[in-house]
Amino acid sequence: MPWRDKSSKPKVPEGTAYVPLQLPSGVPMPMCFCGDPYKVAESDEEDTYKQRYWMCANYAFDPPPRMIRIGRLTPPPLCDFEQWIDTEIKPEDKRYMELCKKWEAERLERVDK
């Protein structure tokens, strides 16, 4: 049944889903090698968990090796610009990573039984 009354339509969320990462004041903004705008990203790797870094806005993703091998995916042009903003992992992030490792070890132990 089509929507007849405008007031009964579901609300469309306003605003944007993208929330840029906040930077501390006084952080110098570097220039990208290709001249395009840069973006701030946050690492999810274990050694650099939650550390922020500058990266080229052209760099969108790392295509999986299989997709490259079969020629189905053409990545965007890259300039490989990357510069770290944070140099140390925060203590609370270290504790969180230790807990994640512990939980994963416990989960694997339960699965192996």
Q: Hey, how many other C-beta atoms are within 10 angstroms of the C-beta on 58? A: 19
- Asked, for residue 2, whether it belongs to a domain, the answer is no
**Does any domain span residue 82?**
yes
Is residue 106 domain-resident? Answer: yes
Residue 78's CB is within 10 A of a number of other CB atoms, namely 14
Q: Is the dihedral of CA 38, 43, 45, 48 positive or negative?
A: positive
Whether 68 is in a domain gets the answer yes
71 falls within a domain: yes
Cα–Cα distance, 96 to 84 (Å, whole number): 21
Q: What is the pLDDT along the chain (113 residues), one digit of tens a residue?
A: 455 555 555 555 555 455 566 666 777 777 777 777 677 888 878 788 888 888 877 666 555 566 556 555 555 555 666 778 888 888 888 898 889 889 999 999 888 87
Domain count, the chain: 1
Domain that holds residue 99: 32-112
Claim: this prediction has a pTM higher than 0.75: no
Other residues' Cβ atoms within 10 Å of the Cβ of residue 59: 20
In sequence order, the β-bridge partners of residue 83 are 54
In-domain check, residue 66: yes
